[in-house]
Structure 1
Amino acid sequence: MSSASLSGKRTPIPAADLRNILRWMFLLRVCLSSAIVLIAAFLWRDFFHARSTLVLLLFLLLSYVFTAFGYWRLRAGRFENASFLWLQLLHDLVFTTVVVVYTEGVGSPFSRLYIPQVAVASVIFGISGGALFAGAASTIFVLLGIYQREFASSFSFDAEYFPKLSAPEEPFLLNILLLVALFFLVALIMDFLRARLVTAGERVQALETEIRFITIDTRDILDSIESGVVSIDSAGRLAFINRKALDLLGIRLLTRDPEPVWQEITTRAPSLARLLLDTLDHKPAISRGELELDSPEGRHVPLGITTNLLYDEQGARRGVTAVFRDISHVKRMEELSRQRDRLAAVAELSASLAHEIKNPLASIRTSVELLASGDDVAGSGGGNGGDGLRWSARRSGGGGQGAARREEEEERLFRLIVKESDRLAKLLTDFLHFSRMELREEVPVPLRELLEEVVELQLLPAARNAATIGLEWLGLREPVVDGDFDLLKQLFQNVIANAVQAASEHGADAAVTIRVTRDYGERAEIYGLDPGQYVETRVIDNGPGIKPADLPRIFDPFFTTKPQGNGLGLAIVHRIVNVHGGALFVESKPGSGADFRVYLPLSSRRVRTRTRAKPRSHAPAPGA
């Protein structure tokens, strides 16, 4: 909005600036009128004649009324009309002239009031309005001076109501010309300043409009996204919240005023408010974290959340922004995926288990059928260590030799049935142990004592296989892990036993190295473990290594490369590590041995143990 021009058209002066100019004009007018009233009251006899003073006071009263009318128009927003503005300037011109006439004429100190009025006219109407007002003021001032000099002594009005003016002081003409020149100079200067003011105002207005549009666009964009956005400033006050955040948090307020909305957030989502404040309080920002929110309907809503720190130019934290979204559908998809994976694993496991059970059952069935048939049987072992047999049968004849041979074959069949039954029982026992793996107790377990006990148990098998076992402790004196002692013992016993068997294929230089060190979380983070300190136990052998095709499957149930194995040993080891919150990895290249790495969380607790000193390397006995 802009002000009115001299011709009634619009000028670029913002309405707010014009409003301020009029306010100052009214204020100065009232102050000047009040000051004159006070002078008339306290210095009555020195300055004014009684009747003339009453005329002046009456005019001042009319000025108050006119000012009140102008202020009413200003409050009503009806102040940009050119006629109204010129009427205000004309009033000030007459008002100043009356004050000058009643206070010594052209020699009055109030004659300088024409200057700010010329300035106001130039600001409002430009150089044309300023020059017009300066010309009017100059004309009045010159005529008043001529009257005082030429006619005041010979001609005067009624002294009862009008003041008697004396001749002006010399140099009269020079003073008047200087003041008139000052009027026009002020008009020129104020027009220049007005142009600068208008240009600056246009820039400010354009900048405000741009900022407003940017703000509107940013809010619209943030309100349109499907993620909630909440920001707080450096003082912990709510700075911004978008519509989706209000919906996710169940806030139904009709306002976005920070204080009531923040109170609702702290009530409905205290974990979110605490996370924002903790991040602001020099805590690290989180990426892809999760929170659980209680919805107004009483259900638990999982939220995926990311926090970002906002910094100022000096690098100080000036706020925190949290972006979060409802991940209920993601959780449902993950659960469905886990169910599918479980069903697929169960199906694969069932097929493997059925295959493993089928072989001993076939042997038992064949043996029982032969025993029940009454035929003479003859067999020879073959296949998997006698598990598969080739049989020939004929009808039994008479004689003691046939009976003895039959008894011998029956005894062999009975042994086979018992052997296959034992094998089947062990398979089912291992499978039940694998499927029901759980921590029966969780106590501080001294790892040094446990490993030295396991190594001692493997000394004899290592000696039989001409292998050595080395136990090395790097930077750890008495590491302790929390868990089940028996399960952890089974874990390392299986891994070390496998390493001894693999190293024995290397020949005379077969060796197994057990290396224990501390991991401060660097590798654990790479492996996707929870933050914290871990103890890393590496079991390294110099055997033939693992084939690349077999490496991804070595922890699968029932997968084995051993003729007599059931494929559950490393699967059970993997389950034991998982229930202890650790991880198990293997690295191997054909011909370079295998490196099994067991990561277990390091406990902060300490236990007193009685460990015996054992050599770091155990060699086979001579002649073994």
Structure 2
Amino acid sequence: MISYKENGDNPIGNTRETDLSSLLQCVGAVLKYPQFRDAAREIFIQCKQLIGAGHGYVALLSDSDHSTHEVLFFDEQRSLSEKTAPLVLRLKSLAAHIYQTGTVYSDNNFLESEWANLLPKDHLPIENILLIPIRSNEKVAGLLAFANKPGGFTEYDVQLGTYFGEFASIALHNKRSSEQLKESEERYRRLIEIIPDAIIISAEDKIVFANAAAARIFGAGSAEALIGSSSVGFVQHQSRQDVQKGLVDMHSRNEATPPSELQCMTVDGAEVDVEVVATPLVFQGAPAELVVLRDISLRKRMEEDVLQATKLEAVSVLAGGVAHDFNNLLTVVLGNLSIAKMYAAKDTQILHKLKEIENAAQQTKELTRQLLTLSKGAALSKKVVSLEDFLQETASFVVRGTNVNVSFSFADDLPPVDIDAGQFSQVMNNLLINAIQAMPEGGTIRICAETLNIIHNGLLFMLEPGRYIKISVSDEGGGIAPEDLSKIFEPFFTTKEEGTGLGLVTSYNIVRQHGGHLAVESEVGAGTTFNIYLPVSSGAIEQRSSPDCICTGHGKVLLMDDEENVRKMAGEMLKLLGYVVDFVADGEEAVVRYLEEWSKGRKYDLVILDKTVRGGIGGQQAIEKLRDIDPAVKAVISSGYATSDLLTDHKKYGFKECISKPYKIEELSSVLQKVLEQ
């Protein structure tokens, strides 16, 4: 039982290195020193330094009548001094209370406690205090005492102190009960077994002791299965020589090694990343090493995710800029093509050629869309869809005409998902094409979907708790080599002669934008499986519609775009559709022109604003000023590079509609008609 008062919050301020080093020193002290005084001194020093107490002492209850207790050493000015004279143990004292109750006592307001009045007048002033019992044969036989910590003791200090009290208890028990050595060893082992870090003792390059955590980390059936194994046998081959040299240096210096990271292997050959600290000790009369290892594989994976995100961010800047400029050029190309088709409507031969050019431009538009997605700049246009129908339609279309079959397995009552169908088709296309290319002799692609609940944060996948659909796409190909698997989602990494290295990294980004995760499993000779995790939608399935007709109209339009070619092309489109057009190059000009016409009573029926203007005011800033002039202004946002939700949530910013570059005359006419009818 632990008793404490006003310990406040429990911030763990101690570093991993400090925890490991102190643990090593205390375990080593228990094993190394046969005398309790020596072991207790080391335990006391480590505990006091770790929790940051100002003063403290270690005392033992007298063996005879338990009426006095002996202070073995007392730390008053941060230097240990011997004070061996027995002190009378008064019945009404805090020390007597701890001996009687056997509880840990912590109080950060000691001056206001009932015990403060019982202290001698010449006693050291006490502001806060932590008393930890030292036990022998299940009875309290001594005390670890600490006082005057700046800021007060925390619950974590109490927990740490309890552990150090256990170590001191073990040391005392060893000293007083040599005939009960087996019992003492069992208590020590139990303490070691509850520690989540692996603890190994090795001598002459052989493991002579290992705890359960070591067996778990290295994939052994039991700790006993590790006994007799080479102490460096689990270290990666390329690092073994350095590790052996480090152990030799450690013994020559007779001091613990600093914490370091190391890549090891499990019994099955799987890689595991560990943080390791070692210290020399004497085991059964011979030189040995005490090694503490902590599994940091999860932390390393998360660091790799952060590194991957950093790489993507660097590529994003380049990809986004290229996509923006390229979309402006494509807007001119596709716009002029759609105009040319109208002029050539009666010449079927020219019209056919123009349609071929338009198809090629549309394919280029999809490449730009990939670049935008890679740069996180492609706005999502989500709809709630039936995943079963979507997957079946997409997969059946992709494998058509190949020597590959597709099998589907869907859980009953599969809920819908909220996705951008165009972008998610891109994900499935990339995965399916990879699967087809992995099976040149033919085979079967298996697509499965099931619902799962993530109760706690999925740190490995960085997923929030909730309901998800797991989509698995598996092939029967040759698998992916381990050295390539870790690079699979890196930009521009490819094993194909004609590959771009953008397919999987783009797919990864799309899935992350949908609040999900994309992971891969593969084994050489056993195929590859890509697993997609998507949040379940609570909405109703929506139906899509995309009108593709040219709708003429009339009215006065103000067009703002910083690209002259875009202004000319869009202006010609608008005139062909029946509108009167004025042109400006940036948002500031748009505001001035709108205000001029407004003040003369000649209001614009509609304004088209480009989102991004180099060196000037863009559409988002311009609409705010236009709404100050005319709260009822009808505005459309146009962009070739959306870095936010401006296109998907345009109404939040005051726009009636949006149009993405590049666009054709059919798309422009549809948007204008929709806005003017509002």
Bucket of the pairwise TM-score, normalised by the shorter protein:
0.3 to 0.5
TM-score by length of 1: 0.32
The TM-score normalised by the length of structure 2 is 0.30
